[in-house]
Amino acid sequence: MANLPQSLSMNTPFGGPSASNPAAAAGAPANKDRKMASAEHLVLDLSNPDLRENALLELSKKRELFQDLAPLLWNSFGTIAALLQCVASHPDTRMLFLNAHIPLYLYPFLNTTSKSRPFEYLRLTSLGVIGALVKVDDTEVISFLLSTEIIPLCLRTMEMGSELSKTVATFIVQKILLDDVGLDYICTTAERFFAVGRVLGNMVAALAEQPSSRLLKHIIRCYLRLSDNPRACHALRSCLPDMLRDATFSSCLREDPTTRRWLQQLLHNVGGNRVPGLQAGGGFDHMLVN
């Protein structure tokens, strides 16, 4: 009994303060507030990878004391997704996570078309879980995702999500393409290739109006990987956006030598008359690549 809180002691058998003890009655709300504050603090800690393990341990130990823990977890932004992301990214639980088909429960959130903030939060946190799966290169993970609707769902987000959601969705497609299984899957049929190519092209056109170096980096990496496939490379000679061939994004890439090298290699792979040389110090200089 020594470990029980005061509200559950022998003097208060129904869990409330004794009517004959005004001090206890006054102290009960304060005690509840302290517990709630402690629970809220631990829930916030779940979002920090460095504090997550201890927060989980404390919440597990004290879950009987936190009577409102469930709604707190449910209503706090990203908490459940952060826990799923933790499970998805750990090597000991990743395949168990996939074998239980947990990602499929997130797909309805990726299938929404609403651009309102609550739906955008759902999209972003769901993408974060999938992103955690593909971040560690694993062909089994890629094969599982390709057996689902992940490519169409990512393409939809790349078309209508926020900049951050578009970036995460494009990163997922990039990681799928970087696996040989993923590249073969996309390039097996013209329909799949042109579905991806159309969305990437539309994104490039949009970035010309509202540049984002982070998003552009992932788009260029996707194109570069597609150019590793002979059939796709041949198709890119005619469908690669002109804005990647000229100086449209010179200022956007000025501080990103890695992406400049990727773009230079892409343009070398696909050939063409207008191929910019990407100098280490700055913008584009036009030159021919034989």
Q: What is the DSSP string of 87-152?
A: HHH-TTTHHHHHHTTGGGGTHHHHT----SHHHHHHHHHHHHHHHHHHHS--HHHHHHHHTTTHHH
The pTM (predicted TM-score) of the whole model is 0.75
Which pLDDT tens digits describe the chain residue by residue (290 residues)?
344 343 333 333 334 444 455 555 545 555 656 766 788 888 888 888 888 888 888 887 777 777 777 788 777 777 777 788 888 888 889 999 999 999 999 999 999 888 899 899 889 989 999 999 999 999 999 999 999 999 999 999 999 999 999 999 999 999 999 999 999 999 999 999 999 999 999 999 999 999 999 999 999 999 999 999 999 999 999 999 999 999 899 999 998 999 999 999 999 999 854 444 444 333 323 322 33
Residue type, 258: T
Residue 220 has a CB neighbour count (10 Å cut-off) of: 25
| Position 253 in a domain | yes
Predicted pLDDT at 211: 92
Host domain of residue 229? 207-290
Q: Is residue 274 part of a domain?
A: yes
Task: Answer yes or no: is 230 within a domain.
Answer: yes
> Is residue 174 domain-shared with residue 244, that is, in the same domain?
no
The packing angle between helices 52-62 and 79-89, to 10°, is 120
Report the number of distinct structural domains present in the chain.
3
Please say whether the dihedral angle defined by the alpha carbons of residues 8, 15, 65 and 44, taken in this order, is positive or negative: negative
Residue 267, in any domain of the structure:
yes
Q: Which of 154, 188, 222 is the last residue of a domain?
A: 188
Does residue 26 lie in a domain region? no
Amino acid at 252: C
Give me the pLDDT at residue 282, please: 36
Query: Which has the closest alpha carbon to 253: 232, 280, 273?
Result: 280
193 located within any domain: no
281 in a structural domain: yes
Same domain, 173 and 108: yes
Residue 268 belongs to a domain: yes
- Count CB neighbours of 148 within 10 A: 15
Q: Are residues 101 and 182 in the same domain?
A: yes
The CA–CA distances, whole Å, from 122 to 107, 118, 131 equal 10, 6, 14
CA distance 239 to 205: 13
102 plus 180 within the same structural domain: yes
